[in-house]
Amino acid sequence: MISLVSFSLFLIPFSKTLSEAGWVLAILLWVVSKIKKKEILFRRDAVNTSYLIFLAVVFFSLSQAGPGLTAPSLRGAWKWSKYLLIFWMCMDLFKNPKNVRILVTVFLGSMTLVTMNGFIQMWGGTDLINRYSVDIPGRFVRMRSSFGSPNDLACFYLLALPLGFQTWLQEKKWSVKSVFLAILLAIFFTGFVLTLSRSAFLALTAALLVYLTLSGNKKNIGIFFLALALFLWPPSLIRQNFMTSLNAKDITVNERLNTWRQSWEIIKEKPILGHGPNTYFREFSARASSSGEEYRGYAHNFLIQIWSDLGMVGLSLFLFPLFYGFFRKNPWKFRENTRSFSVTAALGIGLFAFLIQGLWDTNFFAFQATHLFWVFWGVFNARTT
């Protein structure tokens, strides 16, 4: 079972079809094994109870879908069911630190191939897997490897960087392995920068600052700000992309602001129970086309999109496990040696950054990124409960 889950995670960046088949098979085998052993699927606690009620709200909200939206709503209900089953499965399977290390190693191996594929894309113009070209939005050339967009690739680095750093720190002294891991970490960081994803960069910066503040190490906080200043100061391209372009005149910023204003009008129609799962893209499309705006399909903010689909009830139930999981106690130091940088801390940084990026991006609704989140969110909760 661990091998199947790890293999499905490995395949996410390269084949959605094979990865999806792997997840469905893993879920079926896991459920069957739990039934045979006469075990419950998940422990009864605040997080799981909230998710169970959330799932009930998802299915109830099917009644809110408008004419012609039954099929999309059913697909949305299936997606939420699958994500939560992946979460519960990973919570169950990855209580053992050895299994967690296997999963992390497989993930880092997958990201190594993804990064090499991205470098080939930057050099030759297309990647080797899907023949995707580099992304040229008008500002700069951006790497996306085998992903649909650079931002999707960047959110994978949000977890690969802290997990890679933690893996390197596990090596107590310099060796061939530690040198290799240091080089790999540098390669990951280079790939992350080449995505030029402002949302991911700001999200990781904020998550690291939260971690360092909670850890209470003033020296590390000072080193962090010095490193950040050195990174942003010399290269004008870096500074222009990550800092000076963040204003309302920037086309992507302006598009998001317009999308959020239009989305608020959709939310006000059914603020409590929403329009039904997976209906935002149709609701927004109908209004955008009538106002002359370009249809995008996503709200670029997971709070807005879930609120539109499932109402305030669904959004509240979705958010509660996140707040409870991160803030019920200091998750960065739980269960492991508090004087070391643990896998739990690395996951906490990556997942918290993922949430921050989701406030102005699509990672909670993009196939590859969403699966990544629910896998590691399940692992994180397995390690902190």
User: What per-residue confidence (pLDDT) applies to 98?
Assistant: 94
Backbone angles phi, psi at 142, to 5 degrees: -125, 140
User: What per-residue confidence (pLDDT) applies to 1?
Assistant: 83
User: What per-residue confidence (pLDDT) applies to 237?
Assistant: 61
User: What per-residue confidence (pLDDT) applies to 41?
Assistant: 83
User: What per-residue confidence (pLDDT) applies to 137?
Assistant: 61
The HSE-up count of residue 136 (CA atoms within 13 Å, CB side) is 6
User: What per-residue confidence (pLDDT) applies to 42?
Assistant: 81
Spatial distance between the Cα atoms of 172 and 178, rounded to a whole number of angstroms: 9
The HSE-up count of residue 270 (CA atoms within 13 Å, CB side) is 23
Give the distance, in angstroms, between the CA of residue 194 and the centroid of all CA atoms in the same chain.
Answer: 18
User: What per-residue confidence (pLDDT) applies to 262?
Assistant: 86
Tokens 């996140």 correspond to: 322
Question: What pTM did the predictor assign?
Answer: 0.90
User: What per-residue confidence (pLDDT) applies to 360?
Assistant: 87
Spatial distance between the Cα atoms of 340 and 34, rounded to a whole number of angstroms: 35
Determine contact, residues 296/355, Cβ cutoff 8 Å: no
Determine contact, residues 182/168, Cβ cutoff 8 Å: yes
Spatial distance between the Cα atoms of 169 and 158, rounded to a whole number of angstroms: 17
| Per-residue pLDDT tens digits of the chain, which is 385 residues long | 899 999 999 999 999 999 999 999 999 999 999 999 888 888 888 899 999 999 999 999 999 988 888 899 999 999 999 999 999 999 999 999 999 999 999 999 999 999 999 999 988 888 888 888 877 665 578 899 999 889 999 999 999 999 999 999 888 788 899 999 999 999 999 999 899 888 899 899 899 888 888 776 667 777 766 776 666 665 666 656 555 556 656 667 777 888 888 888 899 999 999 999 999 988 887 766 544 445 556 888 999 999 999 999 999 999 999 988 887 655 555 444 444 788 998 999 999 999 999 998 888 999 999 999 999 999 999 988 7
